[in-house]
Amino acid sequence: MNQSKIWDAYSKSYHNIEKNPAGFQFSLLNMLRVNEADEILDAGCAGGHLHQYILQQRKKDCRLTAFDFSLEMTKIAAARMIKYLNNPFNSQIEDISDQEIENVDLNSPLLEQNKYKVFQGDVQSLPQLNDNQFDIYISNLVLQLVANKDQALQEAFRVLKPGGKIGIVIPVVLGNVPMLSLQKCFIQAGLIPNAAYKPTELENREGLINFIYKHGFKEIVCWNQTIPFDLFDIDDNYIFPQFREILDKASKEQVDQFYSLYKSEVQNRLNLNLPFTVEALSLIAKKPL
């Protein structure tokens, strides 16, 4: 399955857990001062779960543009925003039917009137967007998934105004407890080989800062953050897309073995009175004037 189809298939599960990574995104929005911007871009926005919040924080007449390379994700974002704009007190994703998502019009005039645009697009190539268009480019937990990270950064730099700010979050795999627990269970159930994970160059402060600096950004601020995930029982929503694909092709015996191991992992964590935690490196920087 190609990458965007994998995220299409995971889109419903993701909106059941999206509140967890929102912890990183809230910090980014605060650090970037979204309330001061005229044009904001959310790159790899998934189901747009913080878009209502950004609208509430934004300056009058600020425009929010968002995209994701999964069409299903963009449909969820648009359906949710339409529901919110029609009824701000009843816009929970649970209240939106599958049909509303399926039939949503990404170009609905209601979205345009409210200066909101969501489209299907790839961070590596954004011909839909102008040079020097945005005050803020935000991308939470996306860059680690992208094949050509240099190209993604070049596009981010291009679409930002001089003086505009980028904000990104990169997960630190060796500090991602749900991911490590899944990996362990997959290895023990014979579903994946036991190979030591080698962190990418972006998973340490120095590497990430150098990468952003290399692309012309200045005034870099980088911090480490750890957030809890509300994982208290075995829950399929936390079987991340790369694992889901393997599980779907496995034998029943291996699947049963996996679930039994996963159950113990969750119980072990609860026995330690600890939540499952995810660590990430966050960074904000400016395109020079």
Question: What residue ranges bind ligand SAM (CB under 6 A)?
Answer: 7, 18, 21, 25, 44-46, 68-70, 73, 122-124, 140-142, 145-146
8 A C-beta contact, residue 282 and residue 169: yes
Closest distance of CB 268 from ligand SAM, Å = 25
**Quick one: 145 or 192, whose CB is closer to ligand SAM?**
145
**Quick one: 74 or 189, whose CB is closer to ligand SAM?**
74
Closest distance of CB 179 from ligand SAM, Å = 11
Closest distance of CB 252 from ligand SAM, Å = 29
**Quick one: 148 or 268, whose CB is closer to ligand SAM?**
148
User: Tokens at residue 69, please?
Assistant: 């390379």
Instruction: Name, in order, each residue with C-beta under 8 angstroms of 35's C-beta and a sequence gap of 6 or more.
Output: 57, 58, 59
Residue type, 105: D
**Quick one: 50 or 82, whose CB is closer to ligand SAM?**
50
Closest distance of CB 72 from ligand SAM, Å = 9
Instruction: Name, in order, each residue with C-beta under 8 angstroms of 174's C-beta and a sequence gap of 6 or more.
Output: 180, 197, 199, 203
- DSSP conformation class of 59: P
First to last CA, the chain: 42
Closest distance of CB 9 from ligand SAM, Å = 11
Interatomic CA distance for residues 287 and 217, integer angstroms? 5
**Quick one: 34 or 189, whose CB is closer to ligand SAM?**
34
Interatomic CA distance for residues 133 and 252, integer angstroms? 51
8 A C-beta contact, residue 54 and residue 115: no
Interatomic CA distance for residues 225 and 281, integer angstroms? 6
Closest distance of CB 190 from ligand SAM, Å = 27
**Quick one: 181 or 282, whose CB is closer to ligand SAM?**
282
